[in-house]
Homo-oligomer: A and B are copies of this chain.
Amino acid sequence: MNQTSWTRCHILSLADFVPAEYDTLLQTAASFREVLSRRTKKVPALQGQVIANLFFEPSTRTRSSFELAAKRLSADTLNLSAGTSSLSKGETILDTAKTYLAMGADIMVIRHQQAGVPQTVATEMDRLASGVSILNAGDGQHEHPSQALLDLFTLYSFLEPNSPSGFLQGTKIAIVGDILHSRVARSNIYSLTSMGAEVHLAAPSTLLPKLLAHITDGTRVGKLFLHWDIESALQDADLVMTLRLQSERMSQHLLPSLREYHQYYGITRDRLKLCQPGVKLLHPGPVNRGVEISSEVMDDPQFSLISQQVTSGVAVRMALLYLIGSSKV
């Protein structure tokens, strides 16, 4: 499959992504990463097309990344931000989406605090035979596909395998943090296991998914392993992904304190010694220094792939917008 054979219209979830799609996405992103290293970081691919960024949940980083990706493809962008939106005037989300459709939006990038909203809008757009594509930029505790794809592309760029197919075979990846509430973890579990990785989830038991009636530390479900002991998750790991801790988890009594979280689950230089030599660290950002990761580790260039993730984000979002946009012609 090459990019001319891309047929997916919406990017809502990675649950049903197939290997050929991952391959195309990674190769397309690699070609855009090339564009980004030029002095004029722009291509005319989507000139005259309109991309509406509908961020019902506030965001700086993801919105900027999508906006920049759109501009670098020469598309025009429209931004709707929570708070200033018509939603506060009682309009339903579907009516808002239909307004942007009627204005001529070609692609809508949607973030919403409620799981399923991008899917609902996509279904309506299809029902109307609108031709509009929906890109899920994070929906509640459901999925955040572009984040998982940029994480995957970061690993692909770092490891430089001969071919993308199953390039994480034999790799142990630890995901540490609030797995239960994390749309980032959920999307990553799909993509990482699809590429062959063994994924070890580590969290306080209140923040682990209740997948099974009886889970014990180290319980295995296919290529997934669940741990409430971070040490066993990190043991011999090739890669460590940390998740952002939302401060509201404290008020929900799921965690005693940030300090205690850091003591038991924070990534420190000592804990990284449990991993493979050359272990690399990822975080979707923004990082709470001294909570998920110690400041010392954050500033050590030998461990962190965090800024590579941000760079990958622009390339991957260009690739997604481009593949979706091209599939329409």
Q: Which residues from chain A sit less than 8 Å from chain B, CB to CB? A: 36, 38-42, 47-50, 58, 60-61, 64-65, 67-68, 71-72, 76, 78, 80-81, 84-86, 89-92, 95-96, 98-104, 247, 285-289, 298, 307-311, 313-314, 329
Tell me the bound Cα distance from A289 to B231 in angstroms. Answer: 54
Tell me, rounded to whole Å, the shortest Cβ–Cβ distance linking A188 to chain B: 19
Q: A71's contact among B38, B76, B95, by CB below 8 Å, is which?
A: B76
Q: What would be 22 A-B contacts, judged by CB atoms less than 8 Å apart?
A: A39-B48, A40-B48, A41-B104, A50-B68, A61-B86, A64-B100, A68-B76, A68-B78, A68-B104, A81-B84, A90-B286, A91-B285, A95-B285, A95-B298, A96-B286, A98-B307, A98-B310, A99-B286, A99-B307, A102-B311, A103-B310, A103-B311
Question: Does B102 lie within 8 Å of A310, measured CB to CB?
Answer: yes
Contact status of A85 and B60, CB under 8 A, knowing A40-B47, A41-B48:
yes
Residues of B within 8 A of A103 (CB): 64-65, 68, 310-311, 313-314
Tell me the bound Cα distance from A96 to B56 in angstroms. Answer: 22
Contact status of A286 and B89, CB under 8 A, knowing A65-B103, A103-B64, A311-B103:
yes
Q: A86's contact among B60, B68, B72, by CB below 8 Å, is which?
A: B60
Question: Does A287 lie within 8 Å of B95, measured CB to CB?
Answer: yes
Residues of B within 8 A of A61 (CB): 86, 99
Question: Does A42 lie within 8 Å of B47, measured CB to CB?
Answer: yes
Tell me the bound Cα distance from A39 to B130 in angstroms. Answer: 14
Q: A285's contact among B42, B99, B307, B329, by CB below 8 Å, is which?
A: B99
Tell me the bound Cα distance from A42 to B74 in angstroms. Answer: 12
Known contacts A92-B289, A103-B313, A104-B311; 13 additional CB pairs below 8 A are: A38-B48, A40-B48, A41-B48, A42-B47, A58-B84, A61-B99, A64-B78, A68-B104, A98-B307, A98-B310, A99-B286, A101-B307, A102-B307
Residues of B within 8 A of A64 (CB): 78, 80, 100, 103
Q: A36's contact among B65, B76, B104, B329, by CB below 8 Å, is which?
A: B104
Q: A286's contact among B36, B91, B288, by CB below 8 Å, is which?
A: B91
Tell me the bound Cα distance from A60 to B84 in angstroms. Answer: 7
Tell me the bound Cα distance from A104 to B36 in angstroms. Answer: 8
Residues of B within 8 A of A96 (CB): 286
